[in-house]
Amino acid sequence: MDNRIITISREFGSGGRTIGKMTAEKLGIPYYDKELIKKVAVETGFDESYIEKQGEDAPSKSIFGYAFAARGMNGAMNGMSADDFLWVIQRNVILDLAEKGPCVIVGRCADYILKERADCLNVFVHADADIRAERIVRLYGESEKSPLKRLEEKDKKRSVYYRYYTGREWGMAANYDIALNSGKLGLERCVELIAELTDIQKALTS
Judged by the rule CB under 8 A, the positions of this chain that interact with a second copy are: 1, 11, 124, 126, 171-174, 176-181, 184-186, 189, 193, 196-197
Written as one letter, the residue type at 118 is A
Q: How far is the CB of 142 from a second copy (least distance, A)?
A: 25
Alpha-carbon distance of 30 to 36, in angstroms, equals: 11
CA separation for the pair 140, 29 (Å, rounded): 27
Closest separation in Å from C-beta 179 to a second copy: 4
User: Least Å distance between CB 104 and a second copy?
Assistant: 18
Rounded to a whole number of angstroms, the minimum distance from the CB of residue 94 to a second copy is: 20
**169 alpha-carbon distance from chain centroid:** 15
In this complex, which beta carbon is closest to a second copy, that of residue 96 or of residue 188?
188
CB nearer to a second copy: pick between 103 and 190: 190
Distance (Å, whole) CA 197 – CA 97: 20
Give, as one character, the DSSP assignment of residue 175: G
Hey, what amino acid is at 99? Answer: E
Q: Looking at beta carbons only, is 137 or 185 nearer to a second copy? A: 185
Nearer to a second copy, 73 or 197 (CB): 197
Least separation, in Å, of the C-beta of 116 and a second copy?
Answer: 13
Measured from the CB atom, the residue of 165 and 176 that comes closer to a second copy is: 176
Tell the smallest beta-carbon distance from residue 96 to a second copy (Å): 24
Q: Which is nearer to a second copy, 30 or 171 (CB)?
A: 171
DSSP string covering 14-69: SSHHHHHHHHHHHHT--EESHHHHHHHHHHH---HHHHHHHSSS-----HHHHHHH
Exposure string over 68-89, b if 16+ CB within 10 A, otherwise e? bbbeeeeeebeeebbbebbbeb
**CA 111 from centroid of its chain's CA atoms:** 9
